[in-house]
Amino acid sequence: MTRKRRRLYVVVLCMTALFSAAALVLTAFEDNLVFFYSPSDLATKGLAGERRIRIGGLVEEGSVLRDGSTTIRFRVTDLQTALPVVFNGILPDLFREGQGVVAEGRMGPNGVFTATEVLAKHDENYMPPEVAEALKKAGHWQDGMAK
């Protein structure tokens, strides 16, 4: 075995070990690496309490209620479970019904999520408005399903 060949094997071996280690670590951390929970996660995992958490999903169609002041109420849904959210503050421009949203805050004892920050999430589709219009007309519109 030449020196070059030996160095090649050492590098390949180290890289394999490194990638396996990284894969193991990432698998172990999987549950802790979520950026937000879905309303269903919240229902099944029982995450209510004092902890600050983020929830994500779609703003349910027809659920947005503004009561004149800056307080806004809406429901976040993952199309299985919906969660009522109350928020007092400025919403991002992309916030609209049927769009993805991430809210940070605390779960109240009454089952209402009090958000301190609301972020809009957009999907991976990019197209001119005319194309979006045409797609809607043709009935090929997939719901703006945020992952």
- CB closer to another protein, 5 vs 110: 5
Number of residues that bind another protein (CB under 8 A): 43
Gap between the Cα atoms of 67 and 64, Å rounded:
10
Gap between the Cα atoms of 145 and 38, Å rounded:
13
Gap between the Cα atoms of 25 and 19, Å rounded:
10
- With binding defined as CB under 8 A, does residue 11 bind another protein? yes
- CB closer to another protein, 28 vs 132: 132
- With binding defined as CB under 8 A, does residue 105 bind another protein? no
Gap between the Cα atoms of 67 and 145, Å rounded:
28
- Asked if 85 and 74 count as a contact pair (C-beta separation under 8 A), the reply is yes
- With binding defined as CB under 8 A, does residue 132 bind another protein? yes
Interface residues toward another protein, by CB under 8 A = 4, 7-8, 11, 14-15, 18-19, 22, 26, 30, 33-36, 38, 56, 91-95, 99, 102, 117-133, 146-147
